[in-house]
Structure 1
Amino acid sequence: MVVHTPAQVLADLLSEDPTRPAITFYDDTPGPTQGERIELSRKVLDTWVAKAANALQEGLDVEPGSVVLLDLPVPHWRWIYWSLAVWSVGATLTLDRHEGADVLVTAEPDSPTAEDADEVIAVSLPALAREFAGDLRSGVMDEAKELPSYGDSFTAWDEPEPDEAALIHDGQRTAYESVVPATTWAPGCRVLVTAASPQAFLHHVLHAFAAGGSVVVVRGSEPNAGDDRMRSEGVDLTADG
C-alpha cells in the first residue's frame, strides 16, 4: 500500500514548483520579534526540514519508534519544519507533555518538562538568531548554532510502517497512513491558519500542503481573511479550530 506521508506531501510540493511560497509568518507578539515577516518558499522549507531531520537522525539517533515532543508557541512557523522533520525521520511526534519522549524540542530549555527529558533541543524564536539567548546546560543542542552544520538534503535510514504512530495528541494515536488529511480545499489554496491548538494547527497546515497550497500564520493577534494585510497576501480561506 502506498501511504501519503507528510514527507511525500513536501516532496510533491517541491516537484510541482520549488519557488512558490509555502509559509508566510507574521509575529505580532509584543517583544523582540514583533513586526517580523518571514516567507519560506517550498525549497527553503525543505532545507529547514532536511537540516532538522539530519540533526534528529545523525545527532540524536532518532528513528522510527522514537518519540519526539514538540513544546513551542502555537502558532509559529518553527512548528512546521520541526514537525515535518520528525515525520521525515519516521518517528512519532507527541503533543502530550506527560507522554514519555526520547527528545524534546522546546523554546524553554529550563522548564520542568525539559528537566525530565533525556535529549533537549533549544529553539530560538527570532528568525535571525545565531545562538540561544541564555545559558544552556551541558548536552542541550542549540538549534540556532548547530542546525546550520547539518546537510541541506535528507535521506531517511528507515521508513515507518503505515500503522506506526505519526502523532500523539490527548492520548490518541494517529498512524502514518492517516495523518495527512483528505484534501477538500481548492488546489493551490492560500490558507490563513489561526488554530490555537497544536493538533488543529498541524492538521490545517498538512491539509493546505496536501492541496498544493500554502499557509499564512500570524502569532500574537487575531486576523481574518478580510484584513488589508491578509488581502495583500492573497488569502483564500481561514482555518481555525
Structure 2
Amino acid sequence: MLTPHQALTDLVREDPTRPAITFYDDTPGPTQGERIEISRRVLDNWVAKAANALQEGLDVQRGSIVLLDLPCPHWRTCYWALAVWAVGATLTLDPHEGADVLVTTDPDSPTAEDADEVVAVTLAALAREYAGDLRSGVMDEAKEVSSFGDGFTPWDEPEAEDDALVHDGNRTPYAELFGEAEWAPGSRVLVTGTSAYDLLGHLLRALATGSSLVLVRGPEPASEDPRILSEGVTVRT
C-alpha cells in the first residue's frame, strides 16, 4: 500500500530540488504579497518536523484523531496533513469533540476547548512565535516545531483499512487515499478556492503524478495574470 509519506519520500529520492509547492498570498492582511517556493526536500523536512512534533511531543500515533483547521489553500495546511498521515493517524476536517489534537490558527476557539492538545499555527513564513498569548499546554508551532528532527520514522504503520481522512462524515481508509491519476506526470497545477478537502485531493494527486502545486490564497487569478505564465502552469483546477 502506497502511503503519502512513502510517495513523498520517493519523489525526494527522484529529484529533491524540484518545486513541490509554490504559494502566493493575495488576501488582505499581514501576509499579503508573500511568495514561497518549497522544494520536495524542504517539504519533506517540514513534514518530518511536524510529524515528530505530533509523535514525540503530543503522543499522536496510529488511530489518533487530528483535527485540521487551517486556511486553504495554504502551504502549511499541506505539510500538516502529510505529517498526520506520516504518523498513521486519522485526519479529520469535521469538528470533532475530544479530538486528540487540534492544529489551528485560532487556539482560543470553542473547538480548541474540546481538544486534548492544541497546536497554534502562525501563517507568516518567517514567524518565530505566535503573535498573542497562549494558554498553558498549547504548542506554539513557530517557536517549537523547528526544534524537532528533519528525519521521521513512525512508531507504527497504518493498516489499509485504517481511517485516513474524515470529511462531512465520510471516512476514507488509507488504501483508498490515492484515486486515479488525473494529471500528466510533472504537471504544474494552479489551485485556488477555500475547500480543505479539495486541496488535500490535489495534494495527493500531485504526489501520485510527481506534479507540483501553485497555490493562490485569495481571488482566482485572471487568465492573463503574468504569474500563470511565469510559473509554467499547465493545469487549472
Give me the TM-score of the superposition, normalised by structure 2. 0.97
Whole-angstrom CA distance in 1 between matches of 2:132 and 2:43: 27
User: In the alignment, which residue of structure 2 is the partner of 1:84?
Assistant: 82
Whole-angstrom CA distance in 2 between matches of 1:207 and 1:226: 26
Answer with 203-212 or 126-135: which moved more.
203-212
User: In the alignment, which residue of structure 2 is the partner of 1:177?
Assistant: 175
- Aligned-pair identity (%): 70
User: In the alignment, which residue of structure 2 is the partner of 1:28?
Assistant: 26
* Root-mean-square deviation over aligned CA pairs: 1.1
Whole-angstrom CA distance in 1 between matches of 2:96 and 2:42: 33
Answer with 33-42 or 217-226: which moved more.
217-226
What one-letter code is carried by the residue in structure 2 that aligns with 1:228?
Answer: P
Does residue 67 (structure 1) correspond to residue 65 (structure 2)? The answer is yes
User: In the alignment, which residue of structure 2 is the partner of 1:42?
Assistant: 40
Deviation at 1:99, TM superposition (A): 5.3
Whole-angstrom CA distance in 1 between matches of 2:222 and 2:88: 35
Give the direction of change, closer, same or farther, for the CA distance of 1:208–1:226 in structure 2 (3 Å limit). farther
Equivalent residues of 1:27, 1:33 under 8 A apart: yes
What one-letter code is carried by the residue in structure 2 that aligns with 1:92?
Answer: T
Tell me how many residue pairs correspond in the alignment: 237
Alignment of 1:1-241 (within 5 A): 3-98=1-96, 100-224=98-222, 226-239=224-237
Deviation at 1:141, TM superposition (A): 0.2
Give the direction of change, closer, same or farther, for the CA distance of 1:205–1:195 in structure 2 (3 Å limit). farther
Structure 1 unmatched ranges of 5 or more:
none
Q: Secondary structure at the match of 1:173?
A: strand
Structure 2 unmatched ranges of 5 or more:
none
Give me the TM-score of the superposition, normalised by structure 1. 0.96
